[in-house]
Amino acid sequence: MSVAQTAQAVPSAPLVRASAGNDFSFYPTQADAWWKYTVQPDPVMVNESGLSMVFDIVGDLNLSITQSLQRRVGYSGTVTGEMDYDSTRVQFDGVATVECEEQLQSSAESTYITRQTGSYDLSLDAFVSGYGYIDVGLEWEWDVTNIDPPVQWFLDRSDLDELPIGYVYDEQGQNTGDAHWTIAVTIDGAREQVSGDAPVASAERWEILEHVDSMTVLGTLYRNIVKVKRTTMLPDIDIGDAPLATIVADRLRGASSGEVARPRAMNSLDFKEVDIFYWVAEGVGMIRCEGQYEFYGERLTSELRDTNLEQPLNSAEVVDQYVPIVMEPGREYVAWVAMKNTGIQSWSWDDNYRLGECSGCPVWWGFNRVSLDPGETVSPGETARFRFLVTAPSEPGPYTFQWRMVEEWVEWFGPETSAVQITVAEPELGARQWMLFQ
């Protein structure tokens, strides 16, 4: 590493953030933010009530936050597949849509969910060999109100990467609400519908599972990722012992015997406890999710395809530093600082990346910048080790040693190193004589 010898050698960059450290949330609650996800590229295999089914579910999930802090989720996708029943082949082709909306309440410290509404619609055309087409429809709506106290959205915090693996935030049983629901099933124009109300209780529990340096999702590289498990309650239809495949099977029985088949009676909309796994990236939010949605018990995967948020190009983490804490005036000492590149941009001398003496510190040591060597590149995930000589001030007294990464003429970034208090003093007479003798 090389040093800039005077304060005037390299101009200081503006300080773009008021406080040192990471100010980027791992799930930003930001008005007008949006995310687009691709859902479940792999087939879903289902074996139910003697029926063997294969479904292909391909769709887009769009998530956005409005000016009034309503988080909206919309999914629309195609559902294709086939099943075998009593030597009869049934082919499915249709559309599934999901719409959810959560009212958020945000403060400087936390984000909370105060209300949740949603709807689901599955519309299928089933072609039965030897019979013809059957139209199948499944709809449900729910509205959860009076959430008391509001449920905290744990992921909207900037220190998620600082929490240790195994850290748990638990709100289970602490939040209650009222749910109103409506369910309808339609088979060949015959429709049955039921509505109801039920109290619900939260099962919000979050656990830090893993810290990941980098991860590529749909061709985009993300850095500084945290994998989190969320235990929560999601809507679950209870239509007795008549899931969709059995309804269709009953319809086939009726068709074969000349009877008029109708949907079976439905019981209720329940809420079941599920585990959802999130991979969230600093400054961007969720880049991958498993289990937010299910199809016949199969957990669907969502992967981020596009967003209007970006990870910070520049980010750093202090690894270590060393400097003697007692010095003699005018003498040179070896010091070093190690900084890890946790951003998505490489550091190099040509691109004006430096280790800079922190703003507000006078130039005690003869320079205020330490440069990378010409030709040296520190890629994301790698650590730069700045080793340099410092010259103690000529005047005895206390001095501060503290540094931070800087991209010249652009920004300071990452945390400051710990402020080391150094005492500069003349050695005692006996020590001076011994040193001269040596």
Q: What is the pLDDT of residues 317-360, one digit of tens each?
A: 999 999 999 999 999 999 999 999 988 889 999 999 999 998 65
Separation between Cα atoms, residue 316 and residue 438, nearest integer Å: 42
Q: Which stretch of 17-26, 77-86, 326-335, 396-405 has the lowest confidence by average pLDDT? A: 17-26
pLDDT tens per residue, range 27-38: 998 899 999 999
Stretch 197-215: mean pLDDT: 90
* Residue with more model confidence, 275 or 261: 275
Is the pLDDT score of 435 beyond 50?
no
pLDDT at site 91: 81
How far, CA to CA in Å, does 396 sit from each of 93, 268, 330, 331, 428? Answer: 83, 80, 10, 12, 13
Answer left, alpha or beta for residue 171, where phi above 0 means left and psi between -120 and 50 means alpha: alpha
pLDDT at site 21: 33
* Residue with more model confidence, 147 or 14: 147
Q: How far is CA 373 from the centre of its chain?
A: 35
Stretch 130-159: mean pLDDT: 88
How far, CA to CA in Å, does 63 sit from each of 177, 340, 435? Answer: 24, 33, 69
* Residue with more model confidence, 40 or 278: 278
Q: What's the whole-number average pLDDT of the chain?
A: 81
pLDDT at site 234: 73
pLDDT at site 51: 56
Predicted confidence band of residue 438 (pLDDT cuts 50, 70, 90): very low
Stretch 230-250: mean pLDDT: 59
Is the pLDDT score of 16 beyond 70?
no
- State percent of the chain over pLDDT 90: 44
The model's pTM is 0.70
Is the pLDDT score of 278 beyond 90?
yes
pLDDT at site 360: 59
Is the pLDDT score of 23 beyond 70?
no
* Residue with more model confidence, 49 or 148: 148
Q: Which stretch of 23-27, 130-134, 361-365, 376-380 has the lowest confidence by average pLDDT? A: 361-365
pLDDT at site 240: 40
Stretch 68-75: mean pLDDT: 93
* Residue with more model confidence, 436 or 122: 122
- State percent of the chain over pLDDT 70: 78
Question: To which residue do tokens 């956005």 refer?
Answer: 64
* Residue with more model confidence, 164 or 291: 164
pLDDT at site 418: 93
* Residue with more model confidence, 248 or 210: 210
Q: Which stretch of 52-56, 175-179, 251-255, 385-389 has the lowest confidence by average pLDDT? A: 251-255
